[in-house]
Amino acid sequence: MKNFYHHPLLVLPAGRRTLLAFYGLLLLPFISQGQSLSLSLSATNNTPNNCYARTISVSVSGGSGSYAYFWSSSPPSSVNLGNGPSISVSPAVATTYTVAVWDNSSSLYAEKSILISPRLAGNLSVFIPSAFLAGNLWRLLDSNQSTGPLNAYRYELSIINDWGNQVYAASGTTSSGTTGLLGGQISWNGRLNGTGNYVPSGNYFCDLRLINCSTNTLYKVTVTFFNPSMLTLYPNPAASYVEQNTEQERNQLHSAAREAISFPAEIELLTGAGRAVYKTSIDALPVQLDVRMLQEGDYVLVLRMADHTIKRRLLIRR
């Protein structure tokens, strides 16, 4: 009888799938040959910007029409998912739900999985940079200063200058995927309306609103923008002293900007032939240089920072 499975108390046809309980033990299932169940899964409200529970439904074709349903999830759910053809869930993270369907009469079996987006709620995960340089992006990051989820599905951003004029605005809603907004997706390049010229170096007021299913939070912060190309020498030509600073702020530079331009920095004066005649280190701007010992002529002032090197022509005339 090589076409049958043997048990001391049972003789079953080969190829038939069923679950058998014998003396409290669950025996391995057998698979029906030439037959199958077909499953189709659907979900409602399955977008990051939807705050309602997600309903997952399974449709089954094939078999006898009498089915048993077994639901599971990864990561595991802390609540009972139920045993019907549809379930209602509100996961806090993206979760894969799997349904296993058994035909009660033919003992056919099938399973299928679906990825469900989280219902975004609770605390936001946010790090807001306080300064940035021209050529770089000001980017909103998660609380780990990385590109992970912010736990929000909508943002509204407005950048305003000292005179109350809006220089940049943006907004957006994430309606697809399973993460909501991510760190790095919200940014500003320092240009007027995002496409024009660079705005002047200085401090700007940033209004940032983040929204999820339980939180609508407005952040009001100051962001310092620094454009190294706006670095100036004054007076130029110079006779005894020369001051190096930005066009926007001759008297002081915001501490966040000092951090952004990687102090300490090095200043070097070169002759037209490239010979170094002066060198010093600085920890802040503005800085005043004593050039009384230098002869009249044309020089090149070089400012070296960790990420930038800036050169300016300096004339000494007496």
Q: What does the pLDDT read at residue 245?
A: 65
Res 44: pLDDT: 97
Q: What six digits make up the tokens of 180?
A: 């909501």
Spell out, as residue ranges, where the chain has pLDDT lower than 70: 1-35, 229-231, 244-263, 284-285, 306-307
Strands 265-271, 297-304: pairing is antiparallel
CATH 2.60.40.3080 residue ranges for the chain: 228-316
Instruction: Please enumerate in sequence order all residues whose Cβ is within 8 A of that of 128, keeping only pairs 6 or more positions apart, or say none.
Output: 140, 206, 208, 219, 221, 223
| C-alpha count within 13 angstroms, C-beta hemisphere, residue 87 | 21
CATH class of 16-116: mainly beta
Q: How many helices (H) and strands (E) does the chain have?
A: 1, 24
Residues 6 or more apart in contact with residue 255 via CB below 8 angstroms: none
Gap between the Cα atoms of 207 and 130, Å rounded: 13
The per-residue pLDDT for 26 is 41
Please state whether the predicted TM-score (pTM) of the whole model is above 0.85.
Answer: no
Specify the CATH class of 228-316 in words. mainly beta
d(CA 14, CA 3): 5
**pLDDT value for 261:** 56
What is the predicted pLDDT for the residue at 236?
Answer: 85
pLDDT by residue (tens digit) across 177-224? Answer: 889 999 999 999 999 999 999 998 888 999 999 999 999 999 999 998
Residue 312 is predicted with a pLDDT of: 84
Element at 168 (helix H, strand E): strand 166-173
- d(C-alpha 314, C-alpha 237), whole Å: 7
Which position has the token pair 């070089």?
302
* The 265-271 sheet, strands edge to edge: 276-282, 265-271, 297-304, 309-316
Domain with CATH 2.60.40.10 in the chain: 16-116
pLDDT digit string, tens, across residues 260-294: 455 678 899 999 889 999 998 887 667 888 889 89
Query: What is the assigned CATH class of domain 131-224?
Result: mainly beta
